Amino acid sequence: MIKKYTSGSPINTGAMIKEFQGEDISRFPLVSRFDGGKFRFAQSLGKNAIVYGLGEAPRGINKRGWVYESFCSDDPFHTETKSSLYAAHNFIIISGNESLGIFIDFPARIRWDIGYTSSDTCSVTVDGEDFDIYLIYGDTPLSVVKEFRAAIGQSYIPPFWAFGYQQSRWSYPDARAVDGVIEGYDNAQIPLDCVYLDIDYMESYKDFTVDENKFPNFADYVAEKRAQGIHLIPIIDAGVKKEDGYEVYDEGRKKGYFCKNADGTDFEGGVWPGIVGFPDFLRSEVRDWFGSKYRLLTNMGIDGFWNDMNEPAIFYSAKGLDAAIDKASSLKGENLDLGQFFDLKDAFAGISNSPDDYSSIYHLIDGKLVCHDRVHNIYGASMTKAAGEFFEREFGKEKILMFSRASYIGAHRTSGIWFGDNHSWWSHILLNLKMLPSANMCGFLYCGADLGGFNGNASADLVLRFLALGVFTPLMRNHSALGTRPQECYSFENTGDFRDIVQVRYRLIPYLYRLFRKASEENDMIFRPLSFDYPTDPIARECETQLMLGDEAMIAPVYEQNVGGRYVYLPEPMTFYALSGEKVRSEKLDKGVHYVPVALNEVPLFVKEGKQIPVCKPAMRTSLLNTEEIEFL
């Protein structure tokens, strides 16, 4: 059962597809009050209650004991000290004797104090007075998830080939570099379906352009790669370079499609190409216009994209940069004391993604200028909606791969997500694992992290262990940053170990694709916390290093360095499989705690009694898989 409560005049975010008759917020059943233009409410937490949700967020599966913020943030340091990441997924489940889901449909900042200030209280602050709150009642957390997912609509389903292995880096700047990647994988006999084009494929970092010096005859090149079974996936950023004669910018400026300052002039911020205009994606005519620009690349044969920098990320604004430079100039030659030094440091450190800059951006909604602060969390989702709406109109469903960095609930209907610029840290294997069920709860099924880590230098064993988890995530993409150690599978010693891991993925694709479709069509989850399936088992309720996979299996990745396996808890008897290429090692295990050896070239999987997992022979491309000849684990 879902009950809706409305305050003021909420902005339509597009999150819900079902209509609910709302009651006035004065009838809201939880302890609540308006305070200084904000709405605060609280719900008591039983001693053993678990709080799930918030989608892409830091820390654990159980969200108790920390403060989180719904505020899409361009922050690459995903540590335990952070309160928000790139997305805003305003949905939690409080699971005690009964389960209560809370979805706040509000595109500005929300603060979730989940047992941090008071251990037995979940206190929520909505930073405004115009919002809808939905309370979802259910007997179990999964029943709440299914009720909520039915209300927000079916999850995006990508093309079949998007379940293949994908290689990315910032950057493969030209055709020669891309050819080298494909050749490296082919020579090592490691399967591959996609190679990504980061910002350097563009002409001067301009959206919907291709640098002809780097990629001459691009349409022919795309066709050549497709003949090899390889899909090229270019990046599209939110900012449009300010440059006279650049068609996209000239059109946007002429038609008034860019976000504004309070005085009606175009807001200008600096990103990769320098000064850019930010399209006002909250307007349908702007979405139609921007979405149609993807045709410039789809006409060249491109059938997959990733949208980036759409929180939006702002490196600087002209006024912010000028203020910092003025500050530095005023202190030139001074003997800086402690306060002056940190004032100077903060002047430059605060230029990027400045709250003052966000507050100075305005959108045109229903003919009125609306401050960006009120709609920040749906900006990136609206960019992706622009692309998704165009793709569906032009090509139909399930034809184009699309995923985004920033997101809001509702964007799950047109795209997937990746979890942003993580690090080559062992702890980020677990962070990836813990975000998977939370993202599924919010409708995002096509998701995954940068395998091996984006920032920093990765060791071979870290990449292998990361990949062994990525075998199960719908998006299986290795991505790394400029200046870091090469992270392609063939760039390490013992490439056979990497081949063994990636081949396991291709063997499992028929199962994973079927599981994905079922979860989308039935509003179900691919990944579940053990506590969903074993609510009375005290060990399962606290387990955050293992996940249920569909109705058949459990996954438990190795996430520590220099170990030959790990301890796992089996809440019921299961068969342990160590999968390596086409080799299978198995052992039946009783309920309880076991140490299982897992070599670097093995993928651990635990199959429940009476269940089976279909596998096929591996192939170098998804297009070469024989999905008719199936064996069973």
pLDDT tier for residue 591 given thresholds of 50, 70 and 90: very high
* Type of residue found at 365: I
Q: Using CA of residue 353, residue 304, residue 437, residue 462, what is the dihedral sign?
A: negative
* Type of residue found at 448: G
Backbone angles phi, psi at 326, to 5 degrees: -60, -40
Distance, CA of 557 to CA of 49 (rounded, Å): 26
Range 501-529 average pLDDT: 98
Compute the chain's Rg from CA coordinates.
24
Does the pLDDT of residue 449 top 90, yes or no? yes
Query: What digits encode the pLDDT tens for the residues 2-19?
Result: 999 999 999 999 999 999
Structural contact between residues 205 and 273, judged by C-beta atoms closer than 8 angstroms: yes
Identify the helix (H) or strand (E) that includes residue 338. Answer: helix 338-349
* Percent over 90 (pLDDT), the chain: 95
**pLDDT for res 587:** 98
Backbone angles phi, psi at 573, to 5 degrees: -60, 140
Q: Decide: helix, strand or coil at residue 169.
A: coil
* Type of residue found at 490: Y
**pLDDT for res 339:** 87
pLDDT tier for residue 178 given thresholds of 50, 70 and 90: very high
Query: What digits encode the pLDDT tens for the residues 333-373?
Result: 889 898 888 888 888 888 999 999 999 999 999 989 999 99
Query: What digits encode the pLDDT tens for the residues 218-249?
Result: 999 999 999 999 999 999 999 999 999 999 99
- In 393-502, the DSSP E strands lie at 401-404, 407-408, 416-418, 447-448, 450-451, 477-478
Identify the helix (H) or strand (E) that includes residue 292. Answer: helix 284-293
Joined together, the tokens standing for residue 207 give 């959206």
Backbone angles phi, psi at 39, to 5 degrees: -115, 125
Q: Report in angstroms the alpha-carbon separations of 444 from 2, 53, 154, 473.
A: 21, 12, 10, 12
Distance, CA of 213 to CA of 256 (rounded, Å): 32
∠ CA 235-238-241, nearest 5°, is 95
**pLDDT for res 164:** 98
Range 427-456 average pLDDT: 98
**pLDDT for res 336:** 87
Q: Report in angstroms the alpha-carbon separations of 113 from 36, 44, 63, 70.
A: 18, 12, 10, 11
**pLDDT for res 344:** 86
Q: Residue 395 region, left (φ>0) first, then alpha (ψ -120 to 50), else beta?
A: alpha
Does the pLDDT of residue 81 top 90, yes or no? yes
Distance, CA of 460 to CA of 434 (rounded, Å): 23
Range 192-213 average pLDDT: 98
**pLDDT for res 541:** 97
First to last CA, the chain: 39
Joined together, the tokens standing for residue 568 give 């796992």
Give the contacts of 412 (CB within 8 A, at least 6 positions apart).
Answer: 152, 153, 155, 156, 442, 443, 444, 445
Distance, CA of 194 to CA of 495 (rounded, Å): 19
Does the pLDDT of residue 331 top 90, yes or no? no
Joined together, the tokens standing for residue 13 give 């975010």
Burial per residue of 430-450, b for 16 or more beta-carbon CB atoms within 10 angstroms, e otherwise: bbbbbbbbbbbbbbbbbbbbb
Query: What digits encode the pLDDT tens for the residues 17-33?
Result: 999 999 999 999 999 99
Give the contacts of 245 (CB within 8 A, at least 6 positions apart).
Answer: none
**pLDDT for res 348:** 87
pLDDT tier for residue 145 given thresholds of 50, 70 and 90: very high
Give the contacts of 279 (CB within 8 A, at least 6 positions apart).
Answer: 238, 240, 252, 257, 258, 259, 286, 289, 290, 383
Q: Is 345 exposed, middle or buried (0-12, 13-18, 19+ CB in 10 A)?
A: exposed
* Type of residue found at 269: G
Does the pLDDT of residue 187 top 90, yes or no? yes
Q: In 447-581, which residue ranges form alpha helices assigned H by DSSP?
A: 460-470, 495-521, 530-533, 538-542
Indicate the length of the chain as a whole number: 633
**pLDDT for res 349:** 87
Does the pLDDT of residue 35 top 90, yes or no? yes
**pLDDT for res 282:** 97
CA atoms within 13 A on the CB side of 390: 26
Distance, CA of 371 to CA of 260 (rounded, Å): 9
